[in-house]
Amino acid sequence: MMPSHIAAKNSSLSLPPNTSVPCANTQQNMPPASINNPFLMFQPNTKSYEDMTLIGNGAYGTVYKAKDLANNGQFVALKKVRVPLGEDGVPVNAVREIALLKQLTSFEHPNVVRLLDICQGRKLENERQMLLYLVFEHVDQDLSTYLEKCPSPGLGPERIKDITYQLLNGLDFLHFNRVLHRDLKPQNILISNQGIVKLADFGLARLYTSNVTLTSVVVTLWYRPPEVLMAQPYGTAVDVWSCGCILAELYRRKPLFPGENEVDQLAKIFEVVGSPSQSDWPLDVSLPWTTFKFYKGVPFRDVVPEICSDGADLLKKMVCYDPVQRISCAAAMKHPYFRDFEMNPPSCIKDTLQNNTQHPKASRFYKIS
C-alpha cells in the first residue's frame, strides 16, 4: 500500500475533481472535557473544501490536496478515513484519539503537523461505517521524497543534524504528553521548502498509560524495534528507535535495517548492534535464542562512514537493544552531537521560543491534563 504522503500515478479518485466537502468544524481551542466527551468536537459549520486531487493512499486513509474555501483557497491536506460504526454509533475510542490530536494541535508545536478541521461525512449503512475527513495543513513533501530529490552526494552533515533535532523536538513534545506515534518512517515525516520538519500520519498514534494494552502490530518493519518484533511490552522508546534508524538513513540514503520479514529484521539488527545474551532473551518469545547466530556487533562508523564520532555515539544510544537503556528524546537533544543547537536552535524552534517566553522548552509547551 502506498504511504499517505507519496504521490500516486495513474490512480483513480474516489472523489471527483471539483467536489465540495461540507464540514463540521471543531472548536479552535477544545476544552479538556472533549477528551472525555469527544462528540463535543463537532460544531455545525458551512465551511467546505473543493478541487481535490489525490496525493496518495495509505493504510489508514486516502489523502487529497484541496482548497479551503473559507481561507482564500489556501491548500490543505484532506485525509478521508473510514470509521466502523457500532450499535451506539461512532466508537468513542476512535473519536477520542482524534480529539487528542486536535488538542495537541492547539499548542501549535512547530514540528507536529496541525489538524485544522474535522468533517463528518456520510454514513455507509451497508458497510456499517462512517466517513470522516481530517483536514491537515498542507506541507510540500515528505522526507522520503526530499531525500530522493537531493542531488549527490546527499544532505550535508549540518542539514542532517537540523532535521534530526527537529524530529526529536516533535517527538519529545508527544512523549511529554503521553502520546506514542508508533509509525515513524520517512514517508510519515513532512518537510517544507523552508526546511521545517513536521511529524505526520497519526493513524497508529496512541495515548500511553501504565495500564493500557498496546498492540504489537505497529511500526513499519524496517523501523521496528526488537521489543515490538518480539511482542514484548513497549513505550516511548519505540519512537526513539525509529528516529535512530532515520538518522542513519539520512547519512546512508538507504535503510539501516532493511529486513524481509520479522526474523530477518531481527538478524539484521543483531548483526549491527550485537546479539543479546541468552540470559537477556525474553522467556515468552516464540523464537528461541538459538534461532540466530551470535553477533558481536560492529562500530557504527563502519555502518555509517560519513557520521562524526558524536553522531555515532548518539546513534548507538538510540538503537540500543534494551529499551530501558535507550536514550530518551529529551536526553538526545542534549547530546554533544547537538552541542551547537543549545545556543542556536533551528529557526522554527527559535521563533517558537521567542513567542512562548513563559515556557522555557519549545519542545514541550503545555502538558495535557
Q: CA dist 156 to 161, 243, 250, Å?
A: 9, 18, 9
pLDDT at site 46? 43
Every domain of the chain and the residues it spans:
21-137, 141-347
Sign of CA dihedral 92, 94, 100, 102: negative
**CA distance between the termini of the chain:** 37
pLDDT(283) > 80: yes
Spot the catalytic one: 117, 172, 183, 239: 183
Distance CA 130, CA 146 (A): 34
Entry pTM: 0.79
88 is catalytic: no
Residue bearing the bigger pLDDT, 364 or 11: 364
Beta bridge partners of 133: 80, 119
CATH level 2 (architecture), domain 141-347: Orthogonal Bundle (1.10)
Tens digits of per-residue pLDDT, 5-41?
A: 322 222 222 344 445 555 544 333 333 333 333 333 3
Q: Determine the length of the chain.
A: 369
Which of 116-120, 212-216, 241-245, 254-258 has the weakest average pLDDT?
Answer: 212-216
User: What is the mean predicted confidence (pLDDT) over 81-99?
Assistant: 65
What's the CATH number for 21-137? Answer: 3.30.200.20
Tens digits of per-residue pLDDT, 116-147?
A: 888 877 777 777 787 888 888 999 899 999 99
Mean pLDDT across the chain, nearest whole number? 78
Residue bearing the bigger pLDDT, 88 or 158: 158
pLDDT(154) > 50: yes
Q: Which amino acid is at 235?
A: G
Distance CA 160, CA 164 (A): 6
Neighbours of 213 (CB within 10 A): 5
The phi, psi pair for 112, rounded to 5°, reads -130, 125
pLDDT(3) > 90: no
